[in-house]
Structure 1
Amino acid sequence: MHRNSYSLAALAAAAVPGLVPVRTTPIATPAEDLDVAGIVGEDGRRVMVLSPGSTASGVRLERDLRVADALTGTPLSGVVPPVLGFVKLSEGGRCVVTEAPVGRPLMLDDLSSGAELAQSLGTVLARIHTVPRYAAEAAGVESFTPEVLHAQHRARIAEITAGGHLPAAVAQRWQALLEDEELWDFTPQFVHGDLSEESLFLSGHRISAVRDWSSSKVADAASDLAWLISSLDPERFDQLYAAYREELPTSAHPRLMERAQALGEFAVAEWLAHGLATDDAEIIADARGMIGDLDADLAQIAREEAERTFDAMSSHEDDEPR
């Protein structure tokens, strides 16, 4: 059951004693079956109310809350808005009210404006990845071994390759990445699992809040970096990654960036598989366009390598005595 902003404001008032709503503001959410709104009280207090629109979204919301609660005793507590109250819903499940995230939702273009915000995000990512496993497991998140994750990547790429959807150069590159056993030999860590613009808030030049922990798991830290390495220009990502490494208490996996790049590329295969499974022509065309761009990039790299090899051979011949 979906609710409009007025219904959400009424639920917020019922969940939080003393809250008198006077204004609502929409807040974007990646989940279509979760109603979310910002509420401003007459005393200026700002809260966020979340109401599940289905049983499935109710389960995700409860999982989100369990993880957020487990993070209260970690360095992430400052970016996880605290829960203020609940109210049971007539159709089952419950609505939750939290403190409103400080600032506004992040846009990727914001990260292009300067190094400070990228460095702040790198620091927050490192703190996510250093959450102790016992805290994650206490919240009931799933744990995956490197072998299981590697097998999942193999199966996904094999399916797309068998369907004849990949240019030869892309298929060869992805197969070579999957056959590199050292690349996939890592220690699983706590990850957010679904980082996006909707899940991050910024205030000034820093990340002020992280929400939607329902996809969290103990898995590959590269999965949280993949969308960023694929979206940001190299200089900005390097600044983010430098702050990430500085915040880590131990050294990062020596090939973490390579694996993040690989996962960013594999995400295109997953997108294509989704489009094919749902027979969505727009998604299929979008994914094929991205695969075509990768194929063109690989062809350009091959040409540049051939030119460097030719120039080196020519220079060597010129240096030989006649």
Structure 2
Amino acid sequence: MARSHFTLAALATSAVDGLDIAGATPIGSPGGDFDAALLTGRDGRHWIVRVPRSESAEAAQSADLVALRALSAGVRARLPFAVTTFAGQAPAGDTRAVVYEFVYGAKAELASLDHDLATSIGEAIAAIHALPTSFVADSGLPSRTGIEAARDAAKLFERAIATRVVPAVLQQRWERAIGDPTLWQFAPAVVNGALEAESFLASDGVVTGLLGWQSLHVGDPAVDLHWLLRAPGDGIAETAFGAYARVRGSVDRQLTERARLLNELELAKWLLHGTATKSTEIVDDAVELMSGLVDTISQNDTASIRRPESTLDVDEVEELLSRTATAR
């Protein structure tokens, strides 16, 4: 049974010493992962209180708290947007209520991204990737190399193929890309790991905050960018990638190609989710989406994810090695 915003407000006062609440408003969807409320203090400050509704939501909340603690004041000062701060917690039945400082801004929507916001999102992601990797390692958070990223993709591919419903065109396309070692030549960077349009808070076309840090790790920068390729607006993805490249540079010449591969492999993940949950509806939807991708590939004559011009020259290799060293 969902907890009311009044109950959540009472839990928040137990979690944060001296919190004097003047008002509370329920937020989120009734069927979401959390019971949540927006709180207004008598001093005018705003807070969010959330209680997970499932074990998976509780695990995500715990991982998010670990990441928020890793994001020290010095690290946050390098980011051009706000990151919420943990304020306190209190027992709530078999789980816990967690209170955070409120971050202002409206959630972005993929369908309505414009070029101004796409530019700001590209710059925001670049700022995350420019953070020193050492703080992630010092916090005990995961690190993934290019070789490990390729292995992960290969394992996902093999599991999807085992379902016997992946079209032959996609099998060949994905196998060729995953097996190309040059595709995985990148300097591991700090990545959020769970970005989507709704992760970003914005105002007047500028990113003001970023929510959801539960998958923070060091790894493939393309993990944070591939979702942009699904933006329906004309040239939106190109705008975001261009803004990212202006901040980060263009030494990762296969970034767009890896992002394209990871974006397409989301269909494989959706298929496997359907088989794991024994949902014929999800499996049928995944098969339909893969068929649509095959049609798109045929119409655009893009049989390969990779571009032919892919070899790094000496200067680019030196820049790649330098970036890896200075990011630590």
Do both share a fold (TM > 0.5)?
yes
1:146 aligns with 2:146: yes
Deviation of residue 301 (structure 1)? 3.0
Structure 1 unaligned spans of 5+: 305-322
Offset at residue 139 of structure 1 (A): 2.7
Partner secondary structure for residue 87 of structure 1: strand
In the other structure, the counterpart of 2:206 is: 206
Kindly tell me: are residues 232 and 187 of structure 1, through their superposed partners in 2, closer, same or farther at Cα, counting changes over 3 Å? farther
Q: CA deviation at 1:232?
A: 4.2
Kindly state the Cα deviation for residue 185 of structure 1 after the two structures are TM-superposed.
Answer: 2.0
Aligned partners of 1:6 and 1:133: how far apart in 2? 41
Q: Does structure 2 conserve the Cα–Cα contact (< 8 Å) formed by 1:38 and 1:46?
A: yes
- Check 1:14–1:21 CA distance in 2 against 1; reply closer, same or farther (3 A cut): farther
Deviation, structure 1 residue 269: 0.7
Match of 1:79, SS state, is coil
Identity %: 31
Residues 1:22 and 2:20 are matched in the alignment: no
Q: How far apart are 1:277 and its partner, in Å?
A: 1.4
Q: State which of 69, 80, 83 in structure 2 corresponds to 1:80.
A: 83
Alignment of structure 1 residues 107-122 onto 2, 5 Å: 107-111=109-113, 114-122=114-122
In the alignment, the residues of structure 1 paired with residue 55 and residue 164 of structure 2 have an alpha-carbon distance, to the nearest angstrom, of 38
The answer to which of 251-260 and 92-101 deviates more is: 92-101
* Partner SS for 1:143: coil
- Is the radius of gyration larger for structure 1 or structure 2? 1
| Residue 247 (structure 1) aligned with residue 247 (structure 2) | yes
Contact 1:87 1:95 in 2 (8 A): yes
More helix per residue: 1 or 2? 1
Backbone CA RMSD of aligned residues: 2.5
Shift of 1:18: 3.8
Separation of aligned partners in 2, 1:205 and 1:173: 37
Counterpart mapping for 1:302-321 below 5 A: 302=301
The amino acid across from 1:266 in the alignment is L
Residues 1:225 and 1:283: Cα distance change in structure 2 (over 3 Å):
same
Moved more, 165-174 or 54-63: 54-63
Q: Contact 1:64–1:212 at 8 Å: present in 2 too?
A: yes
Rounded Cα–Cα distance in structure 2 between residues aligned with 1:41 and 1:265: 45
What is the DSSP-based 3-state SS (H/G/I as helix, E as strand, rest coil) of the residue aligned with 2:198? helix
Aligned partners of 1:53, 1:221: CA distance in 2, in Å?
Answer: 31
TM-score by length of 2: 0.83
Q: Is the contact made by 1:27 and 1:38 (CA closer than 8 Å) also made in structure 2?
A: no
The 8 Å contact of residues 23 and 41 in structure 1, kept in 2 or not, is answered as: no
Q: Kindly state the Cα deviation for residue 103 of structure 1 after the two structures are TM-superposed.
A: 1.5
Q: Is the 8 A contact 1:86 1:96 kept in 2?
A: yes
The answer on whether the counterparts of 2:146 and 2:219 sit within 8 Å (CA) in structure 1 is yes
Structure 1 CA distance, aligned partners of 2:165 and 2:69? 43
- Is the contact made by 2:81 and 2:210 (CA closer than 8 Å) also made in structure 1? no
User: Normalization by structure 1: what TM-score?
Assistant: 0.84
Residue deviations 1:117-152 (CA, integer Å, cap 9, x gap): 111101110111122111112332111222222112
Task: Provide the residue aligned with 2:108 in structure 1.
Answer: 106
| CA displacement, residues 230-271 of structure 1 (integer Å, 9 cap, x when unaligned) | 3344511111112111222x5441110111001000110111
| Residue identity matched to 1:81 | T
**Cα 1:157–1:284, aligned 2, differ >3 Å: closer, same or farther?**
same
Deviation at 1:93, TM superposition (A): 5.4
Q: Which moved more, 1:125-134 or 1:4-13?
A: 4-13
1:13: which partner in 2? 13
